[in-house]
Amino acid sequence: MEKLDKTLEEWKAMLDPEQYNVCRLKGTERPFSGKYNDTKTDGVYHCICCNEPLFDSKTKFDSGCGWPSFYAPIGESAMVEIRDVSHGMIRTEVVCAKCDAHLGHVFPDGPPPTGLRYCINSVCLDLVPR
């Protein structure tokens, strides 16, 4: 996959302030505040920064954590996992493989078949209904 490389200034001009804070500065949206937390619409979730498909709605589940949760990405090459030791915790950050946008984190407490919970900020996503 060819990387999409932009300067922070270019991202700032393209994204709204909350999208920029989360996607480019590794922030997070408040729990239960995101537009996709309770969404049940059938479709594909794309990266807000580069439009790459990231998650199919068929893998979305209600984890109760306050952010949209998925048990698997749309493909193995959709995102990159990075060890995150910020905030006094050890977690696994997930970023878009094409543009390096911070999406959220993945945890080993999800449902079958993967046992994973991709906890993703709504502002990083754009749902394209089927």
Residue of 23, 49, 65, 119 marked active site: 119
23 is in an annotated binding site: no
Q: Is 49 annotated as a binding residue?
A: no
Residue 99 labelled as part of a binding site: yes
Residue whose pair of structure tokens reads 């997070």 in the numeric block: 28
In one-letter notation, the amino acid at residue 104 is: G
Amino acid, res. 107 = F
CA 127 to chain centre: 12
Active-site residue flag, 119: yes
Dihedrals φ, ψ of 29, to 5°?
-85, 160
Just list the catalytic residues: 119
Extract the annotated binding site for Zn(2+): 47, 50, 96, 99
Extract the annotated binding site: 47, 50, 96, 99
